[in-house]
Amino acid sequence: MIRQRSLFLSLCQHRLFFLLISFLLATVVFLKNAWVSEDAYINFRSIEQLFAGNGPVWNPHERVQVFTSPLWYALLAFFRLFSSNLFLLTIVISLILLLATLWLLRLLLKSDEALFISVLLFVASTAFFDFTSSGLENGLAYLLLVLYVTLFLSVAEDHLPEQKGKKKLACLILIAGLIVLTRHDLLILILPSLIYAVWSRRRFYSLWGWTRTGNVQSDPFLGVYPLFIDILRVPSAQYGLCQIEHRDQSLGVASTGIEVSPILN
């Protein structure tokens, strides 16, 4: 018993113990709770329509965007090139995003013990792990938020060299754009800190420099998404989920409903 206790204490004193146990615990709990929600199949159907040549739509010949996270959709669509099993593919991607988030969190906290305590808090939250592996964009949002906080703390440092500060601020704006592309409501969370970072480092750029930075670095928010919406001609995602009354031209009678494709039926 004494020998086992001493062995346990020696393992606890090893510098990698808490790091390894944190990743192992998070992986086990993730796999235990791994599932895919029914909302994820909205993305799956739209991806299959894309690969069927109909575009990122719900029904063929209807230019309607029904997914709410363009960045998560794009990520799934890219990895769909390598596997057609979207169920397993989504779980694997979510697990990778979780482990990447924990690694960034370790770099942010600079302590294996602090990371272990954080993982314990995550484990205590059923909602955290349930929706990390739900097939939705939560895992991607967690990763981008940790990356955003890391960059923000770096930009907020005093005596930051101008050239280095410009690059970090540009990256911060870029990550903010990606976060908005992932979940629009997260803008409320990051906007105050983003305004502070931009205002505190306003000396880095002239007015023309800020214009170029906003156009280039935040393109995912200011450029790509409005263009994406314009291409699809979408009033809202809800439009694709409600019934649309239309008149059958061939029969000359009114009918209601949405055309259903055999894809993912």
Radius of gyration of the chain (CA): 23
- Every domain of the chain and the residues it spans: 19-256
pLDDT value of residue 255:
39
Give the least confident one: 204-208, 211-215, 242-246.
242-246
pLDDT, averaged across the chain: 78
What Cα–Cα distance (Å) separates residue 122 from each residue in 12, 55, 138, 184, 201?
Answer: 21, 38, 14, 23, 34
Q: Which DSSP category does 177 fall into?
A: H
Each residue's pLDDT tens digit, 44-62: 999 999 999 888 988 888 8
Residue type for position 215: N
Full-model pTM: 0.77
Task: Give phi and psi for 127, each to the nearest 5.
Answer: -60, -35
Each residue's pLDDT tens digit, 54-110: 889 888 888 788 888 999 999 999 999 999 999 999 999 999 999 999 999 999 999
Q: Which DSSP category does 245 fall into?
A: E
Cβ atoms 177, 213 nearer than 8 A: no
